[in-house]
Copies of this chain bind each other. A is one copy, B any other.
Amino acid sequence: MDRAIDKVRDALQARGLRLTKPRRLVAEKVLSARRHLAADDVLEMLRRDGTPVARATVYRTLEMMKECGTFDEHDFGRGRKVYERAIGRPHHDHLYCIGCGAIIEFQEPEIERLQDQVTRRYHFIAMYHSHKIFGYCRRCGPKAPSGDKAHDEPPRHQDTKND
């Protein structure tokens, strides 16, 4: 079950950091989320649970866990960073729907291989990368989905709580 939280603890302890209660609460939210979470999402979820954690602590913790390699951080250009668990799952990159905000994950080993090739070409030591493709998911289609009225409320599909 929650072996994941132990991995988190280990990663912290390896750097002389402790898994305190606030940190555990934040970590659990991200670990169990089925979508990419922003700091504000975590903040509000914890508030609703009756286990509030200070804003600064949430930000600090997310940053810290990214540094420890247990979370991945992404910026889809929406003005806030989002996080997802990184431990216990394979690397992937993202498609981002500019119509509804849906995030689709993909893996393409061939691209990863070519990236290595590119970095070698420039004698570059790659540490991490960010590969995002922006466009319209199958439900949003190539153009504004609604007819004429430029009302453009982003459509809400079931799995579209992403950002």
A124-B110 contact, Cβ under 8 Å, with A118-B133, A131-B130 = no
Q: Are A127 and B135 in contact (CB under 8 A)?
A: yes
Q: Could you write out 12 A-B pairs with CB less than 8 Å apart? A: A110-B114, A123-B138, A124-B135, A124-B136, A126-B133, A128-B134, A128-B135, A129-B133, A129-B134, A130-B130, A130-B132, A131-B131
Considering only CB atoms, which chain B residue lies closest to A95 in the complex?
B124
In the bound complex, residues from chain B placing their C-beta under 8 Å from that of A1 are none
Question: Which of A108, A115, A124 has most chain B Cβ within 10 Å?
Answer: A124
* Bound-complex Cα distance A159 to B122 (A): 15
Across-interface contacts of A127 in B (CB, < 8 A): 98, 134-136
Q: Is A32 an interface residue (CB 8 A)?
A: no
Does any Cβ of B come within 8 Å of A150's Cβ? no
Assess whether B95 is in contact with A122, with CB atoms less than 8 Å apart: yes
Question: Does A111 have its Cβ within 8 Å of any Cβ on chain B?
Answer: yes
Q: Which residue of B lies closest to A123 (CB)?
A: B138
Q: Is the CB of A126 within 8 A of B135?
A: yes
Question: Which residues in window 98-151 of A have CB below 8 A to B?
Answer: 98, 104, 106, 108, 110-111, 114-115, 117-119, 121-138, 141-142
A20 to B: closest C-beta gap in Å: 26
Does A88 touch B at the CB level, under 8 Å? no
Q: Is the CB of A134 within 8 A of B125?
A: no
- 5 more A-B contacts (CB under 8 A) besides A124-B136, A126-B133, A126-B135? A106-B121, A122-B137, A125-B136, A127-B136, A130-B131
